[in-house]
Amino acid sequence: MTAERLVVVGGDAAGMSAASQARRLKGPDELEIVAFERGHFSSYSACGIPYWVGGQVRGRDELIARTPAEHRERDIELRTRTEVTEVDMAGGRVRSRDLESGAESWTGYDKLVLATGARPVRPELPGIDAPGVHGVQTLDDGQALLDTLAATGGRRAVVVGAGYIGVEMAEALLHRGFEVTVLNRGEQPMATLDPDMGRLVHEAMDGLGITTVNGAAVTGVRTGSDGRVRAVATEDAEYPADVVVLGMGVRPETGLARAAGLPLGVYGGLLTDLALRVRGQENIWAGGDCVEVLDLVSGRERHVPLGTHANKHGQIIGANAGGGYATFPGVVGTAVSKVCDLEIARTGLREKDATEVGLRYVTATIESTSRAGYYPDAGSMTVKMLAERRTGRLLGVQIVGGEGAAKRVDIAAVALTAGMTVEQMTMLDLGYAPPFSPVWDPVLVAARKAVTAVRSTT
Nearest to 108 by CA among 184, 204, 34: 34
DSSP 126: T
Judged by phi (left if over 0) then psi (alpha if -120 to 50, else beta), residue 290 lies in alpha
Partners of residue 244 on adjacent β-strands: 133, 158
Rounded distance between C-alpha atoms, residue 366 and residue 196, angstroms: 12
Instruction: Give me the least distance between CB of 41 and its own copies, in Å please.
Output: 14
Instruction: Give me the least distance between CB of 418 and its own copies, in Å please.
Output: 3
CA distances from 231 to 126, 153, 274 (A): 12, 15, 47
3-state secondary structure of 86: strand
- Among this protein's residues, is 47 annotated catalytic? yes
SS3 per-residue string spanning 363-395: EEEEEEECCCCCCCCCCEEEEEEEEECCCCEEE
What are the residue ranges of helices labelled H in 300-372?
Answer: 307-321, 351-356
Site of interaction with its own copies (CB under 8 A): 13, 45, 47-48, 51, 56-57, 62-63, 164, 306-309, 311-312, 328-329, 331-338, 343, 345, 347, 372, 374-376, 404, 406-411, 413-415, 417-418, 420, 424, 426-437, 439-441
Nearest to 117 by CA among 138, 148, 101, 96: 138
Rounded distance between C-alpha atoms, residue 415 and residue 411, angstroms: 6
Partners of residue 195 on adjacent β-strands: none
- Among candidate residues 25, 47, 121, 336, the one labeled active-site is 47
Burial of 263 (0-12, 13-18, 19+ CB in 10 A): middle
Instruction: Give me the least distance between CB of 66 and its own copies, in Å please.
Output: 12
Q: Contact 265/271 with Cβ under 8 angstroms?
A: yes
Instruction: Give me the least distance between CB of 30 and its own copies, in Å please.
Output: 20
- For 88, other C-beta atoms within 10 Å of its C-beta total 13
The residues carrying an active-site annotation are 47
